[in-house]
Structure formats: structure tokens, C-alpha cells
């Protein structure tokens, strides 16, 4: 556990406290969560109960119905799991900018210690830099996102080829189930204070409507949030797709990937849990799942490593020298087509495949991984400057992607500009950055089937690939998806 912990201030543990506070910013779950286990450990040592606190504010950048709904979907299950484990649970929905903004500080005033998630991007990274100094009680950040703790890497790695051997060496130590402790002192009574917001499956839409946020971005047509949904997606993946993942993951129309990224991003499921279950399933069915584990562990943790050691993850300055040099040399190259941000956001380009990928983002809140590379590369080709392309890619992820604002977001967007890649043959605009073409996509994938699928999704508003069940409109007719 110690190698997952970063002490973020030097304030003492409070005597005469009422509880140990776990402030869940990213890992919104009460199972397989090392940060919560750390809070329980301290609680048991100090003979105190644990309080699990999570909040949702209307003030984070681009707060909208899609992101709010996805987060709120998960609240009832987290509350239930906390209750089962004897942990207190409090949730605060800050609906209006004028509503109180000091709940964490009020809760921390009665806490022996505050434990939170160590997370290297977006709001959590900012909070972990600014809050500990303002709280007069011990404050720890625990890495419950990575399998091999971020702390085990001393510096930024150049690419998968440098981090892979290190991860492989350490994996036997970390790729094992965590011990979930029993709580010595169960939480009794209601959550403290007067801010707690009750969330049930039935009132999510009403709560979202009551918030001062952008109501023009509707919930995803395909993904509901929460641990129950994460579990259903994982079970479906193990049963139907894992075996064919290595062969078909780069064929978007095949739907062979796990769709875990939104659930991993909001911490509804842990990557450790996913990796262990994948490994176990593969072993029981006599195949290996190395390709999937490479993405889930090596690629994902390379992204966390990049974010941990890079101050400006959203800047071209974070790129290796060869990328910046080649872009400098080609900055003035004539662009064949230049589209405005508005045209691209509205999926109005000459390229029907690219438009379909952008519509997938608008409707589902996620683009298939293989076409996502194409999506990014084309934006470089069609933007006036590299900086414009980067800014738009990040903004579109911030607004529409359920898995956006993640270390994977910045790392992979910068991959389009050469990060963790190598120089290729030189061509206009791209210089020696890797290029991707429509012809290439047509040769390697079933472009027609994907475009038809997205057109149907747009026309009907129903995703026949959405897992059946849950409380959203019934899915279409793909038989494999009905439990
Ligand atoms: C321009 C661009 C933007 C991207 N933005 C995001 C983003 O905002 N959030 C995000 O999670 N991923 C992003 N990716 C990486 C990748 O496309 C997604 O992780 C993947 O498509 C998610 O779908 P899945 O869960 O079905 O993946 P699977 O293929 O089932 O993979 C399982 C898990 O492995 C991890 N993974 C897969 N591919 C990568 C990768 N290339 N790098 C790091 N980890 C990976 C993810 O956590 C994923 O959920 C982006 C890629 C590109 C090219």
C-alpha cells in the first residue's frame, strides 16, 4: 500500500476526530479501491468509522447533461455498497453557482485524515495541488487507478517500448487481488451536515435538469454510467469478445472491444479488477489475452506516466523535439481543405467516414479506437494550424467524450502529433508525423458497415449495439446483445 500513497501536506492526523474521510474524486466505487482501503486502514487503527464523500459541481469546464447523467447513474450503487460495508456515504450535488462550495472543508474539519485519489489530469490534479495546503489535517493521495503504482516510475518514459519491460517486471507484485478489510467501526446514522443529495435511478433526469449546466449535450445513446453497467459490459466482453479481441479489435464494425474506457475513467470499475478477470477467463478457456492486457496495462499506464511527469499535457510543447521540428518545417504548407471548428464539430466535411466518426462521438460519447486515430489525423490535415487542431480535439473530448479528460485523452491526442511514435516518411502538412488516409481505412476495415451503423443510430436514435436492459429506451434488435 505504501508505494501507492503520496502525502500532500505535513498537517498532523487530528485527534478527537469523528471519522476518516475518503474524498472520491475519480474512483467512484466502494469495491477494489485502494484509496478507500487506505481510509479504512487508518480508521481501524484509530478506531474510527470511514465516511465516503463524493460531489458533483455545476462549475467544472463544459459541465453538461451527458457527463452529469453518467456520474449520477453510478451514485445509488456506490451508496448501497458503502452501506453494505458499514461505511458512511455522503453525496453533494452543487446545482447552482450560488450554492455552497465548502462542503469538503466542512467535512474535513471533523476528519482525522483526508484520503483522496491520486490522479494526474483535469480537476483532480488541480484539487490535489491546491486543497491540501488549505486543510489543517493530514491529506494523502492514493493511486487507485493504475495496477503498477505511478510512484514506481521515477520519470517520464519515451514510449511503450521503455515502460513495457519495467511494468512486466513489477506486474507479479501488483497483478493480484487486493484484500478488502472489514470496517472495525461501522458508520451509524445519517450523513453529516445538511447538504446530502439523495439520488435514485428515478430522479437522475430531474436532478440533471435542475442544474445550472449546459443542457444542449444530451446523455449518450449507448452508455449508462455506474458500477452495475460497468459490470455488465465487462461480463459481455468476457463472454462474447475477448477471444476475438486480438483478431478483430481494429475492425470497428465488429464491436470486439471492451467499451471499458468510460467506466475506467469515472472509476466505476478498476483496471486491476478488469485485468484479473480477463486473465482468469482466458486461462480457464485456454487462450491468452496479451493483446488486451497490453492496452489496458502498458498503454494506459504509459498515459498516466506521461501525465504525471508533464506539466502542460494539453500543449504541443510536451512533444519530443523531432515532432516540434517537423511541424515547424511544415507549418506553412498549403492545406488542401481547411474546415472551421464549427464545421468539424457538426460533422460537415467532405469525408463520409470522418463525419461518421464525429457523429459517433456526438451520439455515443466515444469513438472506436481504430477510427479515433483517423479522426485525429484528419483534423491535423484540415486545421489552419497544429495548435488549432490540438485545441479542437481536446475541446470535443471535454464536451462529448465519456472517457475524455483522462490521461489517455491527452496522451492519445498528442500521439496524433507524434508522441510515443516514431518518424515516418515526409509529406506535406504532416512532415514526418504518421499519416492516415481514407484509402487505408477502406483497405483495412469495413468502412461501409460502420457508416451504415452510424447513419442508423442518427436516424433512429437507437443503438442496436447498446447492451439491453437498464432504464433507458430499449435497444435495437441485435440478438447477441440481449441477455
Ligand atoms: C485521438 C485519440 C483520442 C483518444 N482519447 C481517449 C480518451 O479520451 N480516453 C480514453 O480512455 N482513451 C482514449 N483514446 C485511446 C483509445 O482509443 C481508447 O482507450 C479505446 O478506444 C477505448 O475503447 P475500449 O474501452 O473499447 O478499448 P479496448 O480496446 O477494449 O481497450 C481496453 C482499455 O485499454 C485502454 N486502452 C486502449 N487503447 C489505448 C490506448 N491507445 N492508449 C491508452 N490506453 C488504451 C483503455 O483504458 C481501454 O478502455 C484515444 C485515442 C485516440 C487516437
Q: pLDDT by residue (tens digit) across 246-259? A: 999 999 999 999 99
The answer to whether residue 376 is domain-embedded is yes
Smallest CA separation from ligand 1 atom 35, residue: 296
In a domain, 452, yes or no: yes
- State the Cα angle at 249 between 243 and 255, rounded to 5°: 85
- Phi, psi for residue 39 in degrees, rounded to 5: -65, -40
What is the count of structural domains for the chain? 1
Verify whether ligand 1 is closer than 6 Å to residue 252 (CB atom). Answer: no
pLDDT value at position 1? 84
344 in a structural domain: yes
Report how far residue 429's alpha carbon sits from residue 452's, in angstroms, rounded to the nearest whole number: 31
pLDDT at 430: 98
Alpha helices in 296-446 (DSSP H): 300-308, 321-330, 341-345, 352-364, 369-382, 386-400, 407-415, 438-444
Query: How far, in Å, is the centroid of ligand 1 from the Cα of 191?
Result: 37
Q: Is residue 257 in contact with ligand 1, taking CB distance under 6 Å? A: yes
* Rounded (10°) angle between helices 65-85 and 227-236: 90
| 358 CB within 6 A, ligand 1 | no
Q: Please identify which residue in the block is written with the cell numbers 451508496.
A: 79
Closest CA to 30 of 51, 3, 9: 51
In a domain, 192, yes or no: no
Rounded to the nearest angstrom, the gap between the alpha carbon of residue 444 and the centroid of all alpha carbons in its chain is 28
Tell me, yes or no, whether 79 lies in a domain.
no
CB distance 364 to ligand 1 below 6 Å = no
The Cβ-side half-sphere exposure at 208, using a 13 Å CA radius, reads 23
Angstrom distances, CA of residue 176 to CA of 147, 148, 270, 276, 368: 9, 11, 13, 7, 29
How do residues 257-304 score in pLDDT, each as one tens digit? 999 999 999 999 999 999 999 999 999 999 999 999 999 999 999 999
Tell me the longest C-alpha to C-alpha distance in the chain: 68
How many angstroms separate the alpha carbon of residue 38 from the centre of ligand 1? 29
Contact 19, 49 (CB under 8 A): yes
What is the grid cell recorded at 96? 447552482
Cα 403 to ligand 1 centroid, rounded to whole Å: 8
Rounded distance from Cα 408 to ligand 1 centre (Å): 7
Residue closest via CA to ligand 1's atom 33 equals 296
Nearest atom in ligand 1 to the alpha carbon of residue 367 is: 21
The whole-angstrom separation of Cα 358 and Cα 375 is 7
199-230 in b/e form (b: 16+ CB < 10 A) is bebeebeebbeebebeeebebbbbbbbbbbbb
Task: Let me know if residue 334 belongs to a domain.
Answer: yes
CA distance 229 to 237: 12
Smallest CA-to-CA distance from 103 within 141, 65, 51 is with 51
In a domain, 429, yes or no: yes
Cell numbers of 346, please?
457538426
416 lines ligand 1 (CB under 6 A): yes
The low-confidence residues of the chain, meaning pLDDT below 70, are: 469-483
Closest Cα to atom 20 of ligand 1: 369
Domain that holds residue 387: 311-460
* CB of 254 shorter than 6 A to ligand 1: no
Q: Which helix (H) or strand (E) holds 68?
A: helix 65-85
In a domain, 371, yes or no: yes
CATH classification at residue 421: 1.10.579.10
* Pocket residue to mutate for ligand 1, from 403, 434, 467, most atoms within 8 A of Cβ: 403
Indicate the burial class of 285 (C-beta count within 10 angstroms; 0-12, 13-18, 19 or more): exposed
Is the distance from CB of 347 to CB of 361 less than 8 angstroms? no
Instruction: Of 283, 263, 287, give the one whose Cα is nearest residue 273.
Output: 263
Q: What is the pLDDT of residue 193?
A: 87
Closest to 114 measured CA to CA, from 182, 56, 35, 180: 35
Task: Report the alpha-carbon distance of residue 431 to residue 325 in Å, rounded.
Answer: 9
* Binding site membership of 408 for ligand 1 (Cβ less than 6 Å): yes
Q: Hey, what's the cell of 470?
A: 437498464
Alpha-carbon span 478 to 456, nearest angstrom: 13
Burial class (CB in 10 A: 0-12, 13-18, 19+), 2: exposed
Pocket test for ligand 1, best of 119, 301, 412, 450 (most atoms within 8 A of CB): 412
Q: What is the pLDDT of residues 68-123, one digit of tens each?
A: 999 999 999 999 999 999 999 999 999 999 999 999 999 999 999 999 999 999 89
Please list, in sequence order, all residues whose beta carbon lies within 8 angstroms of the beta carbon of residue 213, skipping any fewer than 6 positions away: 58, 63, 64, 65, 68
Distance between CA 202 and CA 283 in Å, rounded? 40
- Ligand 1: atom nearest CA of 397 is 8
Amino acid at each position: 500500500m505504501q508505494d501507492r500513497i503520496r502525502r500532500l501536506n505535513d498537517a498532523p492526523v487530528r485527534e478527537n476526530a469523528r471519522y476518516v474521510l475518503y474524498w472520491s474524486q475519480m474512483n467512484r466505487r466502494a469495491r477494489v479501491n485502494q484509496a478507500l482501503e487506505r481510509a479504512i486502514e487508518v480508521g481501524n487503527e484509530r478506531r474510527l468509522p470511514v465516511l465516503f464523500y463524493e460531489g458533483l459541481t455545476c462549475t467544472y469546464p463544459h459541465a453538461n447533461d451527458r457527463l452529469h447523467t453518467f456520474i449520477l447513474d453510478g451514485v445509488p450503487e456506490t451508496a448501497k455498497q458503502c452501506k453494505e460495508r458499514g461505511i458512511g456515504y455522503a453525496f453533494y450535488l452543487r446545482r447552482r453557482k450560488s450554492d455552497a462550495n465548502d462542503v469538503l472543508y466542512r467535512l474535513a474539519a471533523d476528519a482525522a485524515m483526508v484520503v483522496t485519489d491520486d490522479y494526474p489530469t483535469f480537476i483532480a490534479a488541480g484539487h490535489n495541488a491546491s486543497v491540501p495546503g488549505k486543510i489543517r489535517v493530514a491529506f494523502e493521495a492514493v493511486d487507485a487507478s493504475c495496477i503498477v503504482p505511478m510512484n514506481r516510475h521515477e520519470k517520464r518514459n519515451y514510449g511503450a517500448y521503455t515502460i513495457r519491460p519495467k511494468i512486466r517486471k513489477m506486474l507479479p507484485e501488483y497483478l493480484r487481488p487486493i484484500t478488502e478489510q472489514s470496517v472495525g467501526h461501522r458508520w451509524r446514522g445519517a450523513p453529516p451536515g445538511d447538504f446530502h443529495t439523495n439520488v435514485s435511478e428515478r430522479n437522475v433526469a430531474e436532478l440533471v435538469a435542475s442544474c445550472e449546466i449546459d443542457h444542449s449535450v444530451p446523455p449518450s445513446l449507448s452508455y449508462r454510467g455506474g458500477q452495475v453497467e460497468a459490470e455488465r459490459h465487462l461480463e459481455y466482453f468476457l463472454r462474447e469478445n475477448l477471444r476475438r479481441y486480438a483478431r478483430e479489435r481494429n475492425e470497428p464494425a465488429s464491436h470486439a472491444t471492451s467499451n471499458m474506457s468510460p467506466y475506467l475513467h469515472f472509476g466505476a470499475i478498476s483496471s486491476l479488477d478488469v485485468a484479473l478477470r480477463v486473465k482468469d477467463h482466458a486461462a480457464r478457456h485456454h487462450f491468452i489475452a496479451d493483446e488486451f492486457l497490453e492496452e489496458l496495462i502498458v498503454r494506459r499506464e504509459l498515459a498516466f506516466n506521461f501525465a504525471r511527469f508533464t506539466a502542460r499535457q494539453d500543449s504541443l510543447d510536451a512533444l519530443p523535439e523531432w515532432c516540434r521540428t517537423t511541424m515547424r518545417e511544415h507549418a506553412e504548407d498549403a492545406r488542401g481543405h481547411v474546415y472551421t471548428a464549427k464545421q468539424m464539430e457538426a460533422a460537415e466535411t467532405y469525408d463520409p467516414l470522418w463525419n461518421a466518426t464525429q457523429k459517433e462521438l456526438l451520439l455515443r460519447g466515444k469513438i472506436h479506437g481504430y477510427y479515433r486515430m483517423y479522426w485525429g489525423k484528419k483534423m491535423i490535415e484540415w486545421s489552419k494550424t497544429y495548435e488549432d487542431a490540438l485545441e479542437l480535439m481536446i475541446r470535443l473530448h471535454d464536451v462529448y467524450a465519456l472517457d475524455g479528460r483522462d490521461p489517455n485523452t491527452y496522451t492519445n491526442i498528442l500521439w496524433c502529433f507524434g508522441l510515443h511514435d516514431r518518424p515516418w516518411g515526409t509529406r506535406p502538412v504532416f512532415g514526418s508525423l504518421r499519416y492516415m488516409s481514407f484509402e487505408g481505412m477502406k483497405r483495412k476495415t469495413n468502412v461501409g458497415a460502420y457508416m451504415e451503423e452510424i447513419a442508423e443510430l442518427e436516424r433512429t436514435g437507437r443503438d442496436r449495439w447498446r447492451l439491453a436492459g437498464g432504464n433507458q429506451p430499449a435497444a435495437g434488435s441485435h440478438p447477441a446483445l440481449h441477455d
